[in-house]
Structure formats: C-alpha cells, structure tokens
Amino acid sequence: MKFSVRESMAPGKTLREKFDSLVQLGFKGIEITSSSRREHLEEIQKAAQATGICPNILSSQHLGILDARKAERNEAMKAIQEAMQLCGELGGVGVILPPLIAVTMQGRPRIPDLSPLFSTQHLEKQLLIELLKELGEYGEKVKAAVVIEALNRYEQWWPCSLQEATEICEAVQSPAVVMMADFFHMNIEDADLAGSIRHAGKWIKNVHLADSNRWLPGYGHTDFAPGLKALKEVGYDLYYGFECRVTGDPMAELKKSADYIRSKAG
C-alpha cells in the first residue's frame, strides 16, 4: 500500500523536513495544500527529487466553482487549472475538488431556485458537468485530473455519497475527471462502504483515511476491512492518504495507524 498524508499533518516545520519525515515512515506521497502555489514549485520539486516522495495531490486556492456569481466561478476555474498544471509538472494524480464546500461552508451565494422550471440543485449539477468537461479537456493536456470529493451533508449539500460522485464522473466521461473515496464521509453517507466502492470502481483515484471520529484509523469504530478489500477488488493501486486528527507523537502515531490499515487490508 502506498501511504500519503496531508501537508499539515506531516511531521516537520519546513517542506523538506516533512518530506524527510515521510521517508522515515515509509510513506510514498504527500498531499500539498497550503504550499500548492507556483512560487513553491522549485522547493517541492527539489524535496521530491531528493526523497522520492510524490506530491500526489494538490489543492486549489479557490473552490467557488458553483458560486452564483460568474466572476467568482471564473476565478475558481482559473485557480483549479493552475493547480492542475502544477500537479502535472510535479507528476501527481490530481487536484481535489469538493464542488459545493465553498458555497456551503463560506456562505457564498447559491444559484437561485427557478422552480418549477429548474431547481437549484438541478442547475448546479448541469453547470458542474459543463465546467468539468472543460476541466477534463484541460487535464488531459497537462496530465493531471480533477478529483471530485463527496463530503457528508453537514459540510456540503451534494455530492455527499460515492453514488452521487460516480454519477458526475459518468456524465462527464473524461479520464481527467475522477473521484475519491473518503472513509470518514463514507461512514456517514454510504450505508454499504464496500458496495459503494465497487460501484464507483475505475473512477476512484484517491482515498482518504480517517476513523469515525476523524482521528487516525484505529481510534474510532469504522470497520475498514470491507472497504479496503473492495478497493483491492476494483484494482485501486494509488495512494491511501491520511486526513485526520493526530494526537501524541505524529511519527509514532502515523506509523501505528499505517500498520493498523495494513492489518485490515489483509
């Protein structure tokens, strides 16, 4: 299994220290978040070349892709494309996109309800599909994907389940528009974790690991084994990224949790 971790969780004060720590842990990737900017490109490249750690996932600095204001959507598209280009240059997988988190959590204006003609959600879905088609074409050129993230209902109105994220990918039909499976959100929204993963199949290109309480796996009550088995069945061979709370010594705790996941994967 190839383990990755969010930049903020990696032990160390500087990027290079974080990369070095992941080598010691036996991890293979790091998800670049706050440093996901072009001014950090050379620093990331040098750290990656020296350690062999892959910057597998990057973040966009603007996620208002479904903001009701066109100018904000345009800025979000530009930011996502810039992050995708950076990801391609670094040899990563893609840029995570939870489509409605900025609108839901930041109080941004939502596209108005035009019922009985079209509901807000219908308009959002259709708009997202069209924007993702554009991002998919761009992603194929720069060799980096946009990775749709389904979040639980308390963080994003939709997509919340893997089923909803799968429907988006199937509507777009681009190899550069894929999705991820996050065990924390799945534990809330997907009654059958293994079944949801099998249904999503080839579209899953990133995995986040967190227990039911959003602590490291092993500190909650999520049964990881069925989901990990299903990922193996669908041929998933990319990164398993820790995105959760760490208490205690991060080096010891991350190693302990990685061993725990390996034991559940069989």
Instruction: Give the chain's domain count.
Output: 1
| Helix, strand, or coil (residue 113) | coil
Backbone conformation region of residue 131, classed left if phi is above 0, alpha if psi is from -120 to 50, else beta: alpha
pLDDT of residue 78: 98
- Mention every residue, 6+ apart, whose C-beta is less than 8 A from residue 150: 98, 156, 159, 160, 161, 162, 164, 165, 179, 180, 182, 185, 189
Give dist(CA 181, CA 228) in Å, integer: 11
CB 11 within 8 A of CB 255: no
pLDDT per residue as tens digits for the range 160-212: 999 999 999 999 999 999 999 999 999 999 999 999 999 999 999 999 999 99
Query: What number is the average pLDDT over the span 55-76?
Result: 96
pLDDT per residue as tens digits for the range 105-141: 999 999 999 999 999 999 999 999 999 999 999 999 9
pLDDT of residue 91: 97
Domain containing residue 193: 2-265
Rg (CA), the chain: 18
Q: What is the mean pLDDT of the chain?
A: 97
pLDDT at 266 over 90: no
pLDDT of residue 160: 97
Q: Where are the beta strands (DSSP E) in the chain?
A: 2-6, 29-32, 54-59, 94-97, 145-148, 177-182, 204-209, 239-242
pLDDT at 144 over 90: yes
In the set 72, 149, 189, 253, the catalytic residue is 149
39 labelled catalytic: no
pLDDT per residue as tens digits for the range 200-255: 999 999 999 999 999 999 999 999 999 999 999 999 999 999 999 998 999 999 99
pLDDT of residue 16: 97
Give dist(CA 75, CA 69) in Å, integer: 10
Q: What is the CATH number of the domain that holds 156?
A: 3.20.20.150
In the set 7, 31, 124, 243, the catalytic residue is 243
pLDDT at 50 over 90: yes
User: What whole-number percentage of the chain has pLDDT above 70?
Assistant: 100
pLDDT of residue 182: 98
pLDDT of residue 218: 95
Query: What number is the average pLDDT over the span 2-26?
Result: 97
164 labelled catalytic: no
